[in-house]
Amino acid sequence: MDIATGLIAIGAGIAVFTGAGPGLGQGVAAGHAADAVGKNPEAEGKIRMMMIIGQAIAESGSLYGLLIALILIFTRMG
């Protein structure tokens, strides 16, 4: 192994770590949505739709991090 391979592994690890923030954020959002539905049950549909849209946008960031990690790993092997 040379230094470039080690640096690629470190970069891929950092890129995958981008999934930690959205994961925490999605948990907080789901908790707040459950709290909001408990306080206002008749608005459940609107609350659920806003939560799903927000979580989809947050998840896209972690998917980009995974994509970057896979590109870093597999372009070096080829």
Each residue of 15-72: pLDDT tens digit?
888 888 888 888 999 999 999 999 999 999 999 999 999 899 888 888 898 898 888 8
Would you say residue 2 has pLDDT above 60? yes
Distance, CA of 54 to CA of 30 (rounded, Å): 10
Helices (H), 1-78: 3-16, 20-39, 44-77
Assign residue 45 the CATH number of its domain. 1.20.20.10
Q: What is the pLDDT of residue 1?
A: 67
pTM of the shown model: 0.69
Helix (H, G, I), strand (E, B) or coil at 2: coil
Q: Which residues contact 65 (CB under 8 A, 6 or more apart)?
A: 15, 16, 17, 18, 19
pLDDT bin (cut points 50, 70, 90) of residue 78 is low
Helix (H, G, I), strand (E, B) or coil at 54: helix
How many domains does the chain divide into? Answer: 1
Domain that holds residue 48: 3-77
